[in-house]
A = this chain, B = another copy of it.
């Protein structure tokens, strides 16, 4: 049994019963409702959480790097300390297997610890100092720049990462690292998991002596509570991972505000894989089997799931299709995250199957639970794909479409035709050099991450990762939502002119007490 869940909202240091209609999680493996009921927030609850966040902002953003880093590490430790109860509850609510959730917990905790390191390094502050030139005509003042936190951030938990992209996930970790208080709208599919993690953060806030408004967590409907949150003047940025429809609704809500704010919505991507001819010739069977592993991993419920395969028609492609079909026939469907996601997957597969010019290639095996997703693979021709834009719509789950090209020129056409993506993969060998080089510029324009001879699932949390990309992959291609650079989303620069020493923030003081890398008159150094 998990620790007692009280089903309440976490507003600052308090637990609060809320007053709107309660919600319950559903076990997607059985379709049964799970106890307890969770209070949902009223618009007044949203306002209270935002006011507390606003009140906490100046104090929180002024915390010393060590204090802020220790807070992030305390959250990580508190999550670890929940123990198996967290994994059990998350399994119950998400249908995901234990090993996957344990791995995801590790990622969540490591992410928080990476951001603790980022905060201690201080490179994100972008500190720059331009010395005064009093003799110049006109005199140049002393100018010093650092980045400060944007303000309270609204974070929307994702369905597909109940730990790593939800309450204490990448958006929350990077916003807290930047110095922004966070108000989370928990995802309705895993309210119990959310409560456990939310309490871990709430306890860390208290243990670190921070103002209570640094963190709040609300349950409720995206259309009412989500909109109220994004519309609240205290909120200065939004982090979201989910559907295109959901993301665009938040973008529109933000556009209604008097003050525009950044909305970082990570939405839909079909992650095209381009199989270049020589590589396909040499490795059709191996690529086919690897592709099916990536396609069916976690029931295909990854933003980076490979939903589109582009290759030249011919015997090598036939071998690829044969290998993929054989592999797919072995794959037993596993439980999808929610009944609604499962239904949408089935509808998407049926819709794709009914499109003219689209032929079925293979299906996986049906799973043993009520909401198991049965993997599906289709094929079509390049001209048909280009003529019918709906063929590019993401089907969330293990469904993919192979696009058969008649000639190489269609590779270029397709690279230009596809929407913005989180990833694009090139399978190549040295004999494909000329084509790879010629395709790369288009792929750079279309995707946040370009892979060679690899499958897109598996997103490393590191410094050089980009999990982002042009619309509709995200609503703002200028940033990443995974990895150290995610902190940049929640910062803005401020310049300090002719400040006396006693008024300068430590990051900008002459003797560099934080030992930052700083740009001094345009030259990087640690002085």
Contacts and interface: CB of A to CB of B under 8 A. Distances in A.
Contacts of A484: 522
Given A145-B465, A436-B503, A259 B460 contact: no
A331 to B, nearest CB: 19
A37 to B, nearest CB: 38
A476 B148 CA distance: 14
A468 B452 contact: no
A502 B62 contact: no
Contacts of A329: none
Given A463-B522, A494-B466, A260 B130 contact: no
A500 to B, nearest CB: 7
A218 interface: no
Which size class do A's interface residues fall under? 35 or more
Given A148-B444, A464-B145, A497-B454, A478 B492 contact: yes
A494 B449 contact: yes
Nearest to A142: B464
A480 B465 CA distance: 25
Contact of A123 (B121, B498, B524): B524
Contacts of A452: 496-500, 503
A493 interface: yes
A437 B521 CA distance: 27
A477 B208 CA distance: 30
Nearest to A139: B458
A134 interface: no
Given A141-B460, A449-B497, A452-B499, 6 more contacts: A57-B445, A126-B485, A436-B503, A450-B494, A453-B498, A478-B493
Interface of A: 57-58, 62, 117, 121, 123, 126, 128-130, 138, 140-141, 143-145, 148, 150-151, 251, 255, 258-260, 262, 420, 428, 430, 433, 436-437, 440-442, 444-445, 447-454, 458, 460, 462-466, 468, 470-472, 475-480, 484-485, 491-500, 502-503, 517, 519, 521-522, 524
7 contacts: A58-B441, A140-B460, A259-B471, A262-B476, A437-B503, A449-B494, A478-B493
